[in-house]
Structure 1
Amino acid sequence: MAPLKIVSEMDESLKAKGTEFHGKTTNCGIIVKLDMDKKVAVLEQDFENISLENLKGKLPAGQPNFILYYYHDTACDGGHTDHVCFLFTEPKDDSREQMEYVASIQPLVKAAGATKAFSFDSVDDLSNEWLKSKMAHE
């Protein structure tokens, strides 16, 4: 059996966009595609000032998805906290592909500088309320 392909690096355009979005005062999202042959994560699409509800409409259903979501959370007292969230689904049909995607998650979380990582079962799950709930239970 061939060794698993594990993606642990981000290409330069993805790194640059992440740096640009870091510290913005609006929510931003990046749809990330894995190039398993090159073993690198690449920027597929990026969005400024987008809620998870709107971002989920941009995601392909029934496919594994990796998202970097830059979440600007405003507290009741007016303060704010910024989070870099790595949100993902896994392939459901091919065990080898699933193993490769799962094995790539932690290296990519680290490479992206994500402070939170959450899996979701369906794009329909994604909402700001879902994210707040996940963060509250961590």
Structure 2
Amino acid sequence: MQGRSPAIGATTGLDEAYRLCRQQGLRLSRQRRLVLEILWRSGEHLSARDIFDRLNADGRRIGHTSVYQNLESLHSNGVIECLEKAQGRLYGHRADPHSHLTCLESGRISDLDIELPADLVEAIEQRTGFSIESYSLNLQGRPLP
């Protein structure tokens, strides 16, 4: 049920991200391709600074402003996700509805595909008076001993 209309899912490849960019009318500039490649290759949630540092460590010279502008454009067009965290914005290679698990020790964020039991969704609807159309969970925890 986690769904508004899905854009890009967990198993979708980089080629699908390129297709979605073209479909949204976004030019696939060298910089935009590099940003997408870093996100897909890492599979992590990264800040604009993380992406900038990784690109430059790979010898790919691209300005910080260019990285940020491309991330914002990709996010606003539904190609990637943006998470607002205390430490700033983090970007991920998914834009479809999904949940997250944050490790309280390392800060690492993992994508989760979770579907709540139908009876729980119904109970929430009855309690709130709203028809639930989509949801995402933000879970926090520590590794089990």
With normalisation by structure 2, the TM-score equals 0.28
Which structure dedicates a bigger proportion of its chain to strand? Answer: 1
Higher relative contact order (CA 8 A, sep 6+): 2
With normalisation by structure 1, the TM-score equals 0.29
